Amino acid sequence: MLHRFAIVSALTAGLLGTAVHAADRTGALPPQAAATTESLPAATDVRVGGDDKMTRFVVDLTQKIDVTAFALANPYRVVVDLPQIAFRLSPQAADQARGLVKAFRYGLIMQGGSRIVLDTKGPVRVDKAFVIDATGDQPARLVVDLSTTDSDSFNRAASLETRAPRSPAVKPSEIAPKPSGDPRPLIVLDPGHGGIDNGAKAASGELEKDVVLQFAQTLRARLEASGKYQIAMTRSDDTFIALSERVKFARAHGAALFVSIHADAIPKGEGQAEGATVYTLSENASDAEAARLAESENKADVIAGIDLTAEPGDVANILVDLAQRETKTYSGQFARTLVGELKSTARLHKNPMKSAGFKVLTAPDVPSVLVELGYMSTKDDLKLLTSTAWQAKTAAALAQAVDTYFAPRLARGAMRAN
């Protein structure tokens, strides 16, 4: 919300339009995608220096690029937007914390665009944000200089500032509309997280965003093979999608069911848990763990550096009309059916059906559930989550739950057709 710096430099033609390729079902990039990634500018090293008054954040780059930088509040953070680049940083790169920067993350924010988000200890001013050319044996470098400020100064600067929207429009790819007269239900699969938002991370390095995308692709193939349904996915590659856009996507396409797919993790020092859980929307969480998870999942947009000042923050406002009550009933019906099917194929949490205020489940006219397949933080669960055989078996159980849920409707449609 402070100063925005646009540093213009020569840019490789077509870079901003570079496509993002989906990983195949083994998690490996196809050869064409790998070649595209190799051709992108790359971040190769990162350093943070300074103190609680002034801090410099530096990223080594393989070539000069354009950048913009701006600050946001609630919580305080600095967003650095870049064209799509390859992050070739060590796994420990984001562990650096110094001066005004308490943590940072990076990744794809949209097709053709990358982002770095710096979590700061309080309100800061972006003094400089620029990229310098490579010189001699020194690489091109992105430099962001921050200095501390007070909340009043921060807010005054924000209120006086006029500029373009602070965050890019991050929307899932459009799908073709349903053919006229096609009676098949449209099911939207929503792999959680993506791009800059990794989701949960296993101790051995596996990322939730990759695990759930792989599972969603397996489930999609299973459902499409039946020929009974139309299937759409909010994301089919490693791209970040804002929570509100996931909901809008389902509503805009007239979804008959929305299934958001995740894999949980218990914070260090808070014990251990295992098994799958199915969640529905509720203003009041069913227990403390459900409340913790909803709070964590609802921070996805903050993690990605989205400006939420214009976003409604109260899930309760959506739980008011009669249409929502009917939708909640259908959501609960599918959740119970799914838990019943998973009993025979997957390990379930001790309380496998819960509810909480998940933003991604707030479509008032689309029955919606959020499935936590297991715990990335539990060794035995992780072994299953990353197993192709387990994914296929669990996808079959979920597909059977879909069949059971839609059976009455499909039967009525068949009778009318005859």
Beta bridge partners of 68: 81
Contact 210, 373 (CB under 8 A): no
Cα–Cα dist 30/32, whole Å:
6
Eight-class DSSP state of 55? E
First-residue to last-residue Cα distance in the chain: 61
Which pLDDT value is given to residue 344? 86
Helix, strand and coil content of the chain, in percent to the nearest 5, comes to 30, 30, 40
Cα–Cα dist 341/251, whole Å:
27
Cα–Cα dist 80/47, whole Å:
15
Domains present along the chain, CATH in parentheses: 15-160 (2.60.40.3500), 186-417 (3.40.630.40)
Whether omega before 75 lies within 30 degrees of 0, making that bond cis, reads yes
Contact 170, 306 (CB under 8 A): yes
Cα–Cα dist 85/107, whole Å:
9
CA distance readout (Å), 189 to 74, 172, 223, 278, 389: 30, 12, 11, 14, 20
CB atoms within 10 A of CB 360: 26
Q: Which residue has the tokens 């099917």?
A: 341
Contact 270, 370 (CB under 8 A): no
Which pLDDT value is given to residue 26? 30
Which pLDDT value is given to residue 13? 26
Long-range contacts of the stretch 270-273 (C-beta < 8 A, 24+): 272/375, 272/377, 272/378, 273/349, 273/375, 273/378
Three-class DSSP category at 404? helix
Cα–Cα dist 392/408, whole Å:
26
Cα–Cα dist 126/161, whole Å:
13
Tokens (6 digits) for 116: 């770095």
Per-residue pLDDT of the chain (418 residues; tens, 9 = 90+): 333 333 322 222 222 222 233 333 233 333 444 445 678 999 999 999 999 999 999 999 999 999 999 999 989 999 999 999 999 998 778 778 899 999 999 999 988 999 999 999 999 999 999 999 999 889 999 999 999 999 998 888 766 654 444 555 455 555 555 555 678 999 999 999 999 999 999 999 999 999 999 999 999 999 999 999 999 999 999 999 999 999 999 999 999 999 999 999 987 766 778 999 999 999 889 999 999 999 999 999 999 988 776 555 555 455 445 457 789 999 999 999 999 999 988 899 999 999 999 999 999 899 999 999 999 999 999 999 999 999 999 999 999 999 999 998 777 665 555 5
Which pLDDT value is given to residue 10? 27
Contact 98, 50 (CB under 8 A): yes
